A and B are shown apart, each in its own frame.
Chain A
Amino acid sequence: MDMIKLSLLIVTLPLIAFTIQILVGKRLPRDGDFISLASIFVSWILSLKLLWNAFSLYDPQLKITKEWLWFDLARFSSDLDIFALKLPVGILLDNVSILMLVVVTTVSFLVHFYSIGYMKGDAHYSRFFAYLSLFSFSMLGLVLTDNLFVLYIFWELVGVCSYLLIGFWFEKRSAANACKKAFLTTRVGDIGLFIGIMMVFTTLGSVSYSSIFEAKASGLFSGVFGTIAGLCIFMGAVGKSAQFPLHIWLPDAMEGPTPVSALIHAATMVAAGVYLVVRLFVFFTPDALLTIAYVGGFTALFAATMALTHQDIKKVLAYSTVSQLGLMMLALGVGAYTAGFFHLVTHASFKACLFLVSGSVIHALHGEQNLFKMGGLRKKMPLTFGTCLIATLAIAGVPLFSGFVSKDQILAGTLSFAYNHPPHSLLAFFGFGASALTAFYMFRLLFLTFFGKPRDEKLYSHAHESSFVITLPLIILAILSLGFIYEKQNWFEHLIQKPQLIAIKSSVVVAPNSETLPIFKKIKEKTKENVDPSATPQDDREVLGDDVKDQPQVAYVEPHKTENEKKAHTQAMVASVFFAFFSIFLAWLFYIQRVIDPEKVSEKYKSVYNTLVNLYWIDEAYQFLFIGPLIKINNFLYKKIDSEIIDQGFIDRSALITVKTAHAQGDFDNTVIDRGVDGTAHTVFSGGLKLVRIQTGQVQDYLKIGLGLVIILLIAFILM
């Protein structure tokens, strides 16, 4: 089946599930959870098929696109030579998007499966699955689109799904606040993204990736304008992936059910920001990339410090996610493109696994989330403990685990970047610091929950291992966090290569490097012919035609290793392993042996501890800096300008409308002169008005006034 049709099917299945679920969900048996499960399962299988095709083709330059016209504002008025928006909607399939598809569908499927157990008996059970399907649809759509405008549409849809899912238990006041906060903070970021889109549209007239890359190739977007556009688009990523300035919403997002946190706030949605940077990697100018690196790096370290002191298990994981995302941004910033994306993929699996572990722990302890109330659960919940151990090892970056593979490359990238650009060596420090702290707080979490003696007997007594529906996904995710599947012939580096502007002859196709995975060799010949010829990459090149003969082209190139990169690589490897084991040992000292009592340390560094606990008072700062004055301005605008000055002052008090007469008039005037006009406000005009209305009743006065007016007119006209 043609790959485009496959991807279309992958996207639309969750949408169909959503519509069925939302309309008739309640009335179906088992509240219709099997519908969304089935749809995501099929999507998962299809995306694996796509992955299989990608493996069989094994071509880094794989690029299949298909477009349909959405709307064209100059279709009928072509004779008026008006240049108007022509917006095609299309699908872009390349290795990056296929991998993302696989990641999203896997985690989504496992979360669907997990939440059957976790959410059993919830009042709005069917609506939960509807929202999950809607989320999967919008995430898949985001991954597959080929232009920025449609990406923005799915970007916001994903935001709405996170709003709906965070505020799922809306009875809780904190959940209601959290979902609003999440939506608004991401919206601030989205505005940046939209401004970026506008800037791109203004110069190009179209917003599809291919046209952006062509323009970049022809030298556009290189100057300051390009940097600003890049940074605006990055603002969207900052909002969505909770980077430094806009990270405040992610910890509060933990109000949502744990499967939601696992799916949305660990693996997929927050990764959308990174995906955007990956997708537009070539578009960013060098100094834009630098800012990205700095923001990413700082967030990584900053979030890691905050995770140290938290009691709530999910909050710790939330900050660890922010920190890991920071690392990915750092990697992309320093140019380690494959490392960044690789970390995204690996992080998705082990972070999802960690969240689901925390979910099963909370489920077992009937909603208790405080680390200091848990303890010694390893005996009671062996399976959960086992998977949690693997995931923690992976995230800590211990060799033989997936985390190590990707983090090591990131650190290597940062180190080599530091070597090439000595003034920016701070970035390397960010990288190593963050990964060290990660190891520490992750093992702190592990030791506090599973090791030591149980701190709360009652809770401990009826803790039990969760049912297989919950543990099965844990096991699968744990397996995915093992390192060896990524090591195999480092297929990842091969498939995902760093896109660069290189001048290549259009006709010569960079031959895919010879060795492919042995087991796929024979399959490759077979699948070659059933791949839809029109979609193969070769002819796509011809489509560009001859006029771009030797213009620089955006293509994926195998990065050849310079010698100091090799040096950086080995050094990073050694340093990261050392840091990992050292912080594990440190955590062991802190929490198992109680050699250094954490309480005493917190007293000693009282001020530092408080700043960490209160998350550097950023929330309060934002409240003080932005929201407070905003409300004050609004009240001022409304009360002062709207009602007093314009309404009563200018309009009502002006003599025309409000007649302020000497003595009380009919009731009509009183309703008109409402609170705005104080009793005796006389404008000159209304004073004059009294004169006009003089009817003293004396006939002779009338005559005098009449003759007087005539004489005045006479004199006036004589003089004029």
Chain B
Amino acid sequence: MINNLYFFLTISALLFSLGITAIFYRKNIIAILIGVELVLNAASLNFVAFSRFTQSHLHGQVFALFIIIIAAAEAAVALAIVLRLFQTKETIDVEEANALRN
């Protein structure tokens, strides 16, 4: 039951929507970053699933590998930025970052 493609696709779609909601409705920036990670993992899950079930070649898995690398890089940079924000604004609540508006 768990080894056909559509199962994985539904899980990745679930992961994707969870990630989106996390990004939209969480106030803490770290939580938002986690949401982003969720979205990236959903995509890599997709890649792996498609590669495993529909394709003979391993391009999908390679792509998933790269996604992990990129996700790591992004996380590092994002956290550095959040740290800087914390130093200047004493909070990491995304609502606070609204000085720039019209």
Contact = CB atoms under 8 A, between A and B. Distances in A.
Contact of B100 (A693, A697, A700, A703): A697
A696 B94 CA distance: 13
Interface in B53-102: 94-95, 97-102
B8 to A, nearest CB: 24
Contacts of B102: 693-695
Contact of B99 (A694, A697, A700, A704): A697
Contacts of B20: 707
Contacts of B101: 695-697
Interface string A652-695: 00000000000000000000000000000000000000000111
B97 to A, nearest CB: 7
B33 interface: no
A698 interface: yes
A700 B98 contact: no
Contacts of B98: 696-698
B94 A698 contact: yes
A31 B97 CA distance: 91
A716 interface: no
Contacts of A703: 23-24
Nearest to B32: A700
A703 B36 CA distance: 13
A631 interface: no
A665 to B, nearest CB: 12
B23 A698 contact: no
A26 B20 CA distance: 98
A358 B16 CA distance: 113
Interface in A295-322: none
A696 B25 CA distance: 16
Interface residues of B, number: 12
Interface residues of A, number: 11
A693 B102 CA distance: 7
Interface in A48-87: none
Nearest to B95: A698
B36 to A, nearest CB: 11
A695 B98 CA distance: 9
A700 B97 contact: no
A102 to B, nearest CB: 90
A707 B16 CA distance: 14
A338 to B, nearest CB: 93
B94 A699 contact: yes
B35 to A, nearest CB: 11
Interface string A392-422: 0000000000000000000000000000000
A689 to B, nearest CB: 12
Contact of B24 (A695, A696, A700): A700
Nearest to B25: A700
A698 B95 CA distance: 6
Nearest to A699: B94
A693 B98 CA distance: 15
A350 to B, nearest CB: 91
Contacts of B24: 700, 703-704
A479 to B, nearest CB: 98
Interface in B15-45: 20, 23-25
A695 B20 CA distance: 21
A700 B24 CA distance: 6
A72 B99 CA distance: 78
Interface in A322-336: none
A699 B85 CA distance: 14
25 contacts: A693-B102, A694-B102, A695-B100, A695-B101, A695-B102, A696-B98, A696-B101, A697-B97, A697-B98, A697-B99, A697-B100, A697-B101, A698-B94, A698-B95, A698-B98, A699-B94, A699-B97, A700-B23, A700-B24, A700-B25, A700-B94, A703-B23, A703-B24, A704-B24, A707-B20
Interface of B: 20, 23-25, 94-95, 97-102
Given A695-B100, A703-B23, 14 more contacts: A694-B102, A695-B101, A695-B102, A696-B98, A697-B97, A697-B98, A697-B99, A697-B100, A698-B94, A699-B94, A700-B23, A703-B24, A704-B24, A707-B20
Leading 8 A-B pairs by shortest Cβ distance: A697-B98, A697-B101, A695-B102, A695-B101, A693-B102, A700-B24, A698-B98, A697-B100
